[in-house]
Each structure stands twice: as C-alpha cells, then as structure tokens.
A and B are shown apart, each in its own frame.
Chain A
C-alpha cells in the first residue's frame, strides 16, 4: 500500500490566487512527521513546512500552511497568493517513529504546479 498518496499529477493556478495541493498518508505509528518539499526544475528539494503528529495547530510558514486532518490522514499544502516562482514540483513526505533525523523519509509521487500570469 502507498504510504503517501498525491492524487493530483498537475495543477494550474492564476497568479495571486490560493491553491491547495492534496496529500494523504498511511501509517500505524502514532508518532510521525509530515513534510512538504518544493523541487524546481534545477532539481534541489527545498523544505517548505513541517507538521508533527502531536501538533495541535496547523503549521504555517509565510505563504505556506498545512491543513492537517489527522482522522482523515490528510496533510494538504495551501499556498496563498501564488507567485510565478511557485511553479515547480511539490512533494509530500512522511517520517515515521521518533528519533527525528535518524529516520528515512517516504515521498509521494508529487504534484506539478504551474502558476499562470
């Protein structure tokens, strides 16, 4: 079974509008972390935002926010006020268990976002 599912292969959004990128996950571990990364055409994965399984509030980082619905096992990324530079691949990833940085990340298949002027 897929641990991370991103059902939108591609999305279009108009500049200055908000967009939501979907991510659902599957784990039986009560402790986990969810990440979103941006990958421009250059290839480097850029960390955007993190949500821990025990966090009570949805994470926010500037124009990025994470809509975390634990019971539904979803962790959607919301980008407000889209900019042309937001055009890229976006990956949702999960870390299971504790010991944070000593755990592997499992990635979804990604969503290609294109921002139109």
Chain B
C-alpha cells in the first residue's frame, strides 16, 4: 500500500510569484486535506477536498486555492506569494465518510521558502 506522497520536497520562490504543490493520496482514500505549518507551530487547516469538491476551508485568503482530480490526487496553488507563506505544507488523505474515526495520514510535506 502506497502512502501519501508530495512534490516537490523543497521550493524557493520570491515574493509575488505563484506556486503549485502536489499531493498523491493513499490508495483507496478519497479525501485530501491541506495544512500549513509555520516554524515552531502546529499545522493550520487550509482546505479539504472530497470527491473533487471543496469540503471545507480554514481561515486562509482566496489566493490559496486547490484542486482534486478524479484519481483523488490534489494540488495546492498559492498566488501572489508573501514572506509569511514560508512554511511546511502538509497534505493528508483519509477515507472520508467511510471512516468514522477520521484518521488522516500525512505526507512528508513540501517546505516552501519565500524570499
């Protein structure tokens, strides 16, 4: 069983640029959630996709957007990058409504640095 994978591992961008991060969910999982983890803090929920539809959103501006594809992989797009966007971006997959516990399994993360 393949776990959650993310690409790229590291990324360096400059302020104002746009970035796309990618995530492949664990086999059989139809739900993907994205989190932002600033240095020294716990992860903060950005949004979640369930069967290709956005299923909830945290307190992040519209320049954070996403997609989920028919194979349940997902992208996180961030436009007009700001210095505060520098963080570890974590993707997590889960079984959606089929798992009453709601356990989310995380990928290794993408570390984004904005200069």
Contact = CB atoms under 8 A, between A and B. Distances in A.
A105 B92 CA distance: 10
Contacts of A46: 106
B33 interface: yes
A47 B103 CA distance: 8
B102 A95 contact: yes
Interface in B48-79: 48, 50, 55-56, 58
A93 B105 CA distance: 13
B84 interface: no
Contacts, number: 91
B101 A50 contact: yes
A37 B105 CA distance: 10
A101 B99 contact: yes
Contacts of A108: 42
A35 B109 contact: no
B58 A104 contact: yes
A95 B101 CA distance: 9
Given A42-B108, A45-B90, A101 B45 contact: no
B11 to A, nearest CB: 14
Interface in A15-46: 33, 35, 37, 42-46
Given A104-B33, A109-B41, A43 B104 contact: no
B99 A100 contact: yes
A105 B88 contact: no
Q: Which 6 A-B pairs have the closest CB atoms?
A: A100-B102, A101-B94, A107-B42, A45-B106, A104-B45, A43-B109
Given A100-B100, A101-B95, A101-B97, 9 more contacts: A44-B107, A93-B42, A100-B96, A100-B99, A101-B29, A102-B55, A102-B94, A105-B102, A109-B42
